[in-house]
Amino acid sequence: MRNLSSAHGGLYVSAPGKIILFGEHAVVYGRTAIAGSIDLRTYVSLFTSADGRIYLSLPDLGVEKTWLLKDLIKAADRLAAEHPVEEEQPPSLELLVPIARKLSGSSEHPVEEEQPPSLELLVPIARKLSGSCEDQCGVQHLAILAFWYLLLGVAHRKRDLLAVKATVRFKLPSCVGDLLAVKATVRFKLPSCVGLGSSGAYCVCIATALLQTSGLIPSPSIVTDEDGNLTWEDQHLDMIRKWATAAESLIHGRASGLDAAVCTYGTLQIRD
Q: What is the model's pLDDT at position 272?
A: 66
Q: Evaluate if residue 132 carries a pLDDT over 50.
A: yes
Over pLDDT 90: what percentage of the chain?
42
Q: Give exposure, 153-190, as e/b (b: 16+ Cβ within 10 Å).
A: bbbbbbbbbebeeeeeeebbeeebbebbbbbbbbebeb
Question: Exactly one of 199, 214, 249, 256 is catalytic; which is it?
Answer: 199
Catalytic residue among 77, 132, 214, 259: 259
- Active-site residue 160, yes or no? no
Domains of the chain, earliest start first = 2-271 (3.30.230.10)
Rounded to two decimals, what is the model's pTM? Answer: 0.86
- pLDDT mean over 180-204: 92
For 14-48, the three-class secondary structure string (H helix, E strand, C coil) is EEEEEEEEECCCHHHHCCCEEEEEEEEEEEEEEEE
> Helix or strand or coil: residue 182?
strand
Residue scoring higher pLDDT (115 or 207): 207
Tell me the angle at which helices 93-104 and 234-252 cross, rounded to the nearest 10 degrees: 70
pLDDT value at residue 13: 95
pLDDT band at 38 (very low <50, low <70, confident <90, very high): very high
Query: Average pLDDT of 194-221?
Result: 93
Q: Would residue 49 show up in a list of annotated catalytic residues for this protein?
A: no
Per-residue pLDDT reduced to its tens digit, 58-72: 999 999 999 999 999
pLDDT higher than threshold 50 for residue 270: yes
Identify the band that residue 170 occupies on the pLDDT scale cut at 50, 70 and 90: very low
More reliable by pLDDT, 146 or 91? 146
Residue 86 confidence (pLDDT): 64
Question: Using CA atoms, how far apart are residues 8 and 46, in angstroms rounded to an integer?
Answer: 11
